[in-house]
Structure 1
Amino acid sequence: MQTGTENPDPKLLSINTATVRQKWDLAQIIDGCARHEIRGISPWRDQVKALGLKETARAIRANELVVTGYCRGGMFTANTHEGRVEARNDNRRAVDEAVELGSRCLVLVVGGLPEGSKDLNDARSQVRDGIGELLDYARQQRMPLAIEPLHPMYAADRACVNTMTHANDLCDELGDGLGIALDLYHTWWDPDLETQIKRAGKKRLYAFHICDWLVPTKDLLLDRGMMGDGVIDIRKWRHAVEAVGYDGFHEVEIFSAENWWQKDPNEVLATCQSRHLEFC
């Protein structure tokens, strides 16, 4: 594998606001990133709604932060026509919000099986159709859409796109304006990951998310590890994305109910900075 520079650029660190959301609201997170000289931020829609879209955009601009991704669009699957229309309309609003914030992309967590369904092929068809319809609107607004493949353990309830291969296939089928948010927590295990990173290339890699996989993992959603505390060779994969031309941010996204969410957010941000340099 071709490698990039040994140490990451500290200016490319981004914080997904989920990492410190339990103790800080969005205004505090924006201020905290600025104080810690962290340049990137990726907010969630519910946090933006609580602070207000225009106030969020103002605060981000005032602190000269880069919105590396907006969380999230997607959840396209439903067991009724009305449900799919509701998802379509909500996703268009998400695109508009991402535009207002100046985000580099809108991250898509695509949705799993509709309630009561066991038809995974139908769910994946709904996802393809939903992304295709949203992409027409997103292109008009010049907002890139980034599919985030999730670990297969989430196929039923959160996302039935579970590999980079599947995400790349959708990008091939649906065309320009659609790319991938590569989250190592969800993809590190895949034996085809290196090949699919090369296939995606710089053109499709819109975001790069980092954290670590703990052994044992106590909770499938809320027990992600800080970089260096688990088994993912994060530096290897940072080199892999750089080898195909990725020069964007490294976004830390940690859900950690019993550990990092219980700590002082200032400590968490400082740890993100030091671990980013040491392990990314």
Structure 2
Amino acid sequence: MPIEGLSINLATVREQFDLAQAVDACMAQGIHAIAPWRDQVAHIGLAEAARIVESNALRVTGLCRGGMFPACDPARREAAIEDNRRAVDEAAALHADCLVLVVGGLPEGSHDIRAAREMVAEGIAKLLPYAKANGVPLAIEPLHPMYAADRACVNTLEQALDICELLGDGIGVAVDVYHTWWDPMLEQQIARAGAAGRILAHHICDWLVPTRDLLFDRGMMGDGVIDLRGIRAAIEAAGYRGPQEVEIFSSQNWWKRPGDEVLSICVERFNTVC
């Protein structure tokens, strides 16, 4: 039977499976929702990826990722916009719920995070009309402040929502617990996002203590300190009814285990601790 409310971000099993293999493994576990990454789609080709999605009646809860807008010169910023337009095309072909934006950090040599955030807003503003014309909502994913310099200078849900309000319709947020669980304003900002209908995705994993690698040591749900049920309750109280999307980067643990085992544990933890 299909498992309602659970999606697997295919980064969780990227070392074990390609996209086609991951879909087969998910379907065997009753998981009918996925979120692929662009490199995984490119590996088998967009047309084949779209065929797999459609033939299995899969829900694509997001395509990862667009973004990376700041750059040190106009030509590079425009190149980023062009790449994001291609990402929109891919998301549209997969009928994805949203294109997830990891917005980018400081341009090389810069110390001006305010300017970087302005570049992010400007870049999304340029991309947004194309995304709306193609029916692809854009989801800003604020990342933990440890990534402010190199991956995302938008680090809180409040900052992401400020950009959304500036730009209007067609844009929202992806609430990833790994990046937002620590924020003392989280519940308030989740309510704000829900009131505006801007919660487009909900990503789950856990924060381990100790964390051995800040990028590649995410925990399986229930193995760390995040209040998963509390955040889920706040998100659902704000009106979000979409799936919880498991997204785990784990070079020292989960990527070394058999993929079927990882997916089975994802299902078990989703049912018991989320």
2:206 pairs with 191, 202, 212, which one? 212
2:35 pairs with 42, 64, 76, which one? 42
Following superposition, the deviation at residue 94 of structure 1 comes to: 0.3
In 1, Cα distance between the equivalents of 2:208 and 2:273? 15
Instruction: Let me know the Cα RMSD of the aligned residues.
Output: 0.9
In 2, Cα distance between the equivalents of 1:124 and 1:167? 10
The worse-fitting range, judged by mean Cα deviation, of 55-64 and 261-270 is: 55-64
Following superposition, the deviation at residue 65 of structure 1 comes to: 1.1
In 1, Cα distance between the equivalents of 2:30 and 2:242? 17
Matched, 1:258 2:268: no
Following superposition, the deviation at residue 10 of structure 1 comes to: 3.8
Show the counterpart of 1:18. Answer: 11
Query: How high is the TM-score relative to the length of structure 2?
Result: 0.98
Structure number with the bigger relative contact order (C-alpha 8 A, sep ≥ 6) is 1
1:119 pairs with 93, 102, 112, which one? 112
The answer to whether the 8 Å contact 2:3/2:30 transfers is no
1:221 pairs with 210, 215, 235, which one? 215
The answer to whether the 8 Å contact 1:10/1:276 transfers is no
- Percent identical pairs in the alignment equals 61
The answer to whether the 8 Å contact 2:3/2:32 transfers is no
Show the counterpart of 2:57. Answer: 64
1:249 pairs with 194, 219, 243, which one? 243
In 2, Cα distance between the equivalents of 1:30 and 1:90? 26
In structure 1, the gaps of 5 or more residues are 1-8
SS of corresponding position for 1:11: coil
SS of corresponding position for 1:251: strand
Query: How high is the TM-score relative to the length of structure 1?
Result: 0.96
In 1, Cα distance between the equivalents of 2:188 and 2:221? 24
- Note the alpha carbon deviations across 1:86-119, whole angstroms, 9 max, x for none: 1010000000100000000000000000111111
2:75 pairs with 78, 82, 87, which one? 82
The worse-fitting range, judged by mean Cα deviation, of 194-203 and 257-266 is: 194-203
SS of corresponding position for 2:267: helix
- Note the alpha carbon deviations across 1:59-96, whole angstroms, 9 max, x for none: 11111210000000000011111101110100000001
- Note the alpha carbon deviations across 1:19-59, whole angstroms, 9 max, x for none: 00001111100111111110110000011001100100101
Instruction: Give the letter for the 2:35 counterpart.
Output: S
In structure 2, the gaps of 5 or more residues are none
